[in-house]
Structure 1
């Protein structure tokens, strides 16, 4: 005797349909809010970082492009290295990145170790904060660039809004890089809190693993996502290996992360 074909209950079907409609409405509202805020939405571009836990914390699975981000590095080198790794995956020979310096030189070999080679980098010097912000805003309005980084110790709310609007107008991604040589003493500075940057990151050196061979090991950082519109904060321990990040956060289990170049 053939088994009877199950017939779904009408009440269950109606309930499932209502839940699906509700999910679609909520997804549409979230996308609309992100578009209003200048983050994500239809046609948005993102840069997956290749580390599952970080990408899951970012809106739409990656770092939003065509907007402003803020990076704070504790001690010399940590913020610069993290920024170089990000810029390297955005830069191309036809659309290089612009790095605005404040009173010091870049170490070309050090940047190249993170993939940012001289043929895809333009460096300019602006010793005064006002000049650096002006140069950054003008550069963000140049669609021939893929990204612009400015070494700026602080920026007010109006200044950060101007940079965000400039980035949105062309789709060029902006990064504000601030270095705290004395550690986290300036962690809650007013300029940083007032910024309209879509994400705010803090990068600090992290100690190497116990049992490593003597000598200088792989670069290791504590990367903290302090603020993210449309995402959620978090903190991770990352190693850099050749051309990508490996998540070494306690409890993490995944293969080495690799940044993918954005077309």
Structure 2
């Protein structure tokens, strides 16, 4: 039986990475956020390389996942090397990615018709190595599929980011199901920071660390990713409400 044909884009990417990296995987441990309160909540004081991390939107952003995608883009932007972004819906807004620090010129976008192909392409990219991160947009992430992504990430030390995007609110309940992810995040949009002049301020997020291995859950009110992909603790009013009407205290 002949082997299935590889995606031409991934074949080209392999050759480029082989030239850049000499075929050797880099040894890395964790990517810090640079925010002490957040890094203190994570084993290794940052997001682990060679591991799977999940992120989803909350509140009105549960379906579109825009804030979740920008959070993932900011994380990917701070890694070194090319980024592979696997998806079924080509609706990413490139200027928004650039504002979150991830210039589209760094990204290889791999579009598929089915989620099974998204998983296969993400696993293949992770298994090859030499990348900064691999991002996969998925509705469902079964345990078996998440383990395959985790094992592929462990093999090469590449960070795996899964952005959960649902087509209807009822599908969001799947986010409570167990997976092999090292961390699980939810990002909800809050009112922007107030400025001294009438203008659109920097967006704020409620960032929830819903699950972390060898750690405890936490939540933070942060300023959204800046042009370097970094978040920071919000400097706005201490008491805020998310768009569902819940009250939180910053810091």
TM-score by shorter chain over 0.5 = yes
User: Would the aligned equivalents of 1:72 and 1:180 in 2 still touch at CA under 8 Å?
Assistant: no
Q: Which residue of 2 aligns with 1:106?
A: 92
For residues 55-111 of structure 1, give each alpha carbon's deviation from its aligned partner in whole angstroms, at most 9, with x where no partner exists: 0100021111111111112313111111110000014xxx20100122223222111
The 5-angstrom pairing of residues 75-90 of structure 1 reads 75=61, 76=64, 77-90=66-79
Structure 1: distance between partners of 2:211 and 2:142: 17
Q: Cα distance, 1:248 vs. partner?
A: 2.0
Q: Does residue 141 of structure 1 match 2:127?
A: yes
Gaps of 5+ in 1: 1-42, 254-263
For residues 122-150 of structure 1, give each alpha carbon's deviation from its aligned partner in whole angstroms, at most 9, with x where no partner exists: 11101211111111111111112121010
Structure 2: distance between partners of 1:72 and 1:178: 5
User: Would the aligned equivalents of 2:51 and 2:160 in 1 still touch at CA under 8 Å?
Assistant: yes
Structure 2: distance between partners of 1:47 and 1:234: 18
Q: How many residues align?
A: 206
Structure 2: distance between partners of 1:176 and 1:104: 16
The 5-angstrom pairing of residues 47-66 of structure 1 reads 47-66=31-50
Larger Rg: 1
Gaps of 5+ in 2: 1-26, 239-248
Structure 1: distance between partners of 2:217 and 2:173: 16
Q: Which residue of 2 aligns with 1:239?
A: 223
Q: Does residue 201 of structure 1 match 2:182?
A: no
The 5-angstrom pairing of residues 148-227 of structure 1 reads 148-180=134-166, 186-189=171-174, 192-209=176-193, 213-227=197-211
For residues 238 and 182 of structure 1, do their structure 2 counterparts lie closer, same or farther at Cα, with a shift above 3 Å needed?
Answer: farther
User: Would the aligned equivalents of 1:160 and 1:197 in 2 still touch at CA under 8 Å?
Assistant: yes
Q: Which residue of 2 aligns with 1:124?
A: 110
Q: TM-score, normalised by structure 2?
A: 0.75
Structure 1: distance between partners of 2:43 and 2:161: 17
For residues 211 and 141 of structure 1, do their structure 2 counterparts lie closer, same or farther at Cα, with a shift above 3 Å needed?
Answer: closer
Structure 1: distance between partners of 2:147 and 2:160: 12
Structure 2: distance between partners of 1:182 and 1:248: 31
Q: TM-score, normalised by structure 1?
A: 0.71
Q: Which residue of 1 aligns with 2:11?
A: none
Structure 2: distance between partners of 1:105 and 1:182: 17
Q: Cα distance, 1:217 vs. partner?
A: 1.5
